[in-house]
A = this chain, B = another copy of it.
Amino acid sequence: VESIEAKVRATITKHNMLNFSDKIAVAVSGGKDSISLLHILAKMECVRPKATLVAVTIDEGIKGYRDEALKIASLECQKLGVEHHVFSFKQLFGFALDELVEKKRREGDDKLTACAYCGILRRRALNVAAREVGANKIATAHTLDDEAQTVLMNIFRGDLSRLAKEKPVTDEVHPKLVQKVKPFCEIPEKESALYAYLKKVKFQASPCPYASEALRNDFRVMLNQMEEKHAGTKFTVFNSLERLRPCLQTMANTAHFGECQECGEPSSGGLCKVCELLKQLNEKKA
């Protein structure tokens, strides 16, 4: 437990993730990684009393999955004395993820997976949530595994500008875009699970019912196989990206960051991804 806590503290310091006066919105899904992160940050908050923690959970509207996770998240926050706020897709966008997926299925539209829609909407929801609770930082529990998977995924998809944007601390490109930090980016998923187990915290163990659709799954399996054969693989992949960082930065294309002409949220194009998605949904209806 202590070694994992020390590693997280070291990661936070190394990447200059947090300041004493930060108000940090911790993205808590209810899974082992985010609950572990909440515990570690809450413990650090006791030591550094000036930073403030708020837990934020996004309720995508996935029946039989998120409802259970929500209860766990709320319980853990209560135990730790951390304020907890829930924001739902339904309230923010007018529909639950289940409804969107059901509609797409009826229309025979399988261009994007549930995970692709969810990713776009959840990113927005988290940013709006953080702003509403007055946070100036969002802490997510992305682990070393997630980061290494993302590196490979973006190389396999040829999405280099996305690759450039994946960082332990995101750039401040727009005042309305709350800066994201990833204190677990150098912690293997196994260690985060071990932490949750040792601290006997409750977490939701069952995976999202849509998760098997995700491309990410292939990379998870692949990286786990390689890690087993060649220990340290995940860290090396993560590190390769860190070393590519200076030259990738020139491809990040953050200069043109403005606001969506429709909703006013930060966007790199004229229309943000969320409004594009909503427009497309409405066109189908018409």
Within 8 A of B (CB), among A201-260: 215, 218, 222, 225-226, 229-230, 233, 236-237, 239-240, 243-244, 247-248, 250-251
Contact check, A155 vs B156: say whether CB atoms are below 8 A apart.
no
**CB distance B155 to A237 under 8 Å?**
yes
Q: Which of B218, B225, B237 contacts A226 (CB 8 A)?
A: B218
Q: What is the bound-complex CA distance between A105 and B251, given in angstroms?
A: 47
A158 touches B236 (CB 8 A): yes
A158 touches B240 (CB 8 A): yes
* Known contacts A218-B226, A226-B218, A244-B244; A156/B251 CB under 8 A: no
Q: A160 interface residue, CB < 8 Å from B?
A: yes
**Chain A, interface SS category:** helix
Task: List, sorted by A's number, 26 A–B pairs whose CB atoms are closer than 8 Å.
Answer: A151-B155, A152-B155, A155-B155, A155-B240, A156-B226, A156-B230, A156-B233, A156-B236, A156-B237, A156-B240, A157-B236, A158-B237, A158-B239, A158-B240, A158-B243, A160-B240, A215-B230, A218-B226, A222-B222, A222-B225, A222-B226, A244-B244, A244-B247, A244-B248, A247-B247, A247-B250
Residues of B within 8 A of A222 (CB): 222, 225-226
- Min CB distance A152 to B, Å, is 8
Within 8 A of B (CB), among A166-182: none
Q: List the number of copies, as a whole number.
A: 2
Give the number of chain A interface residues (Cβ < 8 Å).
26
Which A residues form the contact surface with B (CB < 8 A)? 151-152, 154-158, 160, 215, 218, 222, 225-226, 229-230, 233, 236-237, 239-240, 243-244, 247-248, 250-251
Is the beta-carbon distance between B243 and A160 smaller than 8 angstroms?
yes
